[in-house]
Amino acid sequence: MLKLVRIWLPVGIAVAGVVLIVLGHARVSATADTKSIEAGAGVVLLGVALMVWMINWLFQLSLQSNREREQEEEAREYFDVHGRWPEDEKE
């Protein structure tokens, strides 16, 4: 389910946007006709796909930052108990 949301949802939205742009013949005219509306909706869908992908990417960065913060806290607790950093044991 997670892979569906992270990868296939933005891809699906982008594909729908490209299809609408192709159906609209990538034409924008001064008068709003059906073709130009389709092309405009396609461009909007491409933007939405990019936003969905970026939100997923930022969420992943947030999770990674939280994991690093937890590891640093564990290392500090180890230092408080043993008087040395956990990495110093490996040497």
**What percent of the chain shows pLDDT beyond 70?**
85
**Which residue in this structure is represented by tokens 């008087």?**
83
Instruction: Write the Ramachandran bin of 25: left for phi over 0, alpha for psi from -120 to 50, otherwise beta.
Output: left
- Whether the CB-CB separation of 37 and 24 falls below 8 Å is answered with yes
Confidence class for position 47, pLDDT limits 50, 70, 90: very high
Confidence class for position 32, pLDDT limits 50, 70, 90: low
- Residue 43 pLDDT: 92
- Residue 29 pLDDT: 61
- Residue 83 pLDDT: 85
pLDDT at residue 86 tops 90: no
Is the overall model pTM greater than 0.75, yes or no? no
Average pLDDT, the chain: 85
Q: How many CB atoms lie within 10 A of CB 17?
A: 21
- Residue 36 pLDDT: 77
Q: How many CB atoms lie within 10 A of CB 14?
A: 19
